[in-house]
Amino acid sequence: MGNRIFIITGTSKGIGRQLAELCLEKGDTVYGIARGASDLNNTYERYTHVQFDLEDTHHIDDLISGILDQIPLASVECIGLINNAAMLEPLKPIDQCLASDISIHLNISLAAPMILTSSFIRYTSHMPARRKIINVSSASGSYPAPSMAAYCTSKAGINMFTQCVAMEQTSQSNPAEIIVFDPGMVDTELQAVARGKDAEEFALSGVFQNVYESGQLRSPGDVAQALLDCFEESATSDNIVPTMDEE
């Protein structure tokens, strides 16, 4: 597969961690970005952990340039950015959400992936290597739900952002590929948070609980493999990969 480099957000747990491990097992080099610590660098020589809070959007450009400065870009055959990190809360009616709740959510789940993408494309535009960006989205970006206004809005924004950037890149001499990946419903900490909410506060908590109890959730490992398969596929005109349930 050649000399591949991945920059992945949210590698301390869930899909991000599973994806990082999968790439590392294949011999790829991974730079993982997460607010929390990680023990992956204790196991894999090719893993570098960057502890960073994506809420700090003003320093994301420095974050990406700092990572890329560590990479001998001239010898890289393929480099990818996987915008996986996101948050689910606030899960409550919008009139009960504080301004700080909304701001933090949109910074992490929407603004950060946009800035990461912008910086990644700009600093790698001179590379002859294949460049690909995958933004992890959700069916919630297409289907509204009560008490999930922030989450649905950020995912809808990710979908539209990806399509806009894809259109921009088609006119470039050295275009970067960019797609959205919808993993379906996955057994992650976000799911546990949703089903653990009081039904009076979050009306859909029972739905999340039923999905969990009926065994409909996909494992983070299976989703990570599907995501990596999407990365390895050649570019197509379709920038939104359907949910795994629809494949």
CB 171 within 8 A of CB 232: no
In terms of pTM, does the model score above 0.95?
no
Q: What amino acid is encoded at 54 in this protein? A: L
Nearest in space to 150 (alpha carbons), one of 100, 211, 88, 206: 88
Which conformational region is residue 2 in: left (phi greater than 0), alpha (psi within -120 to 50 degrees), or beta? left
- The yes-or-no answer on residue 151 being catalytic is yes
Single out the residue of 85, 79, 86, 132 nearest to residue 241, CA to CA: 132
- Tens digits of pLDDT across the chain (247 residues): 458 999 999 999 989 999 999 999 999 999 999 999 999 988 999 999 999 999 999 999 999 999 999 998 888 999 999 999 999 999 999 999 999 999 999 999 999 999 999 999 999 999 889 999 999 998 888 889 888 899 999 999 999 999 999 999 999 988 999 999 998 776 566 667 766 667 667 766 766 666 666 766 678 888 999 999 999 987 554 555 554 444 4
3-state SS assignment for residue 167? helix
List strand residue ranges (DSSP E) for the chain, in order.
Answer: 4-9, 29-34, 47-51, 78-83, 130-136, 177-181, 240-241
Active-site entry in 44, 47, 143, 151: 151
User: What are the structural domains, with CATH classification, of the chain?
Assistant: 4-184+220-246 (3.40.50.720)
Would the CA dihedral through 150, 156, 157, 162 be positive or negative?
Answer: positive
**DSSP one-letter code for 242:** P
Phi and psi at 23, nearest 5°, equal -65, -45
Express each pLDDT in 12-70 by its tens digit.
Answer: 998 999 999 999 999 999 999 999 999 998 899 999 999 999 999 999 999 999 999 99
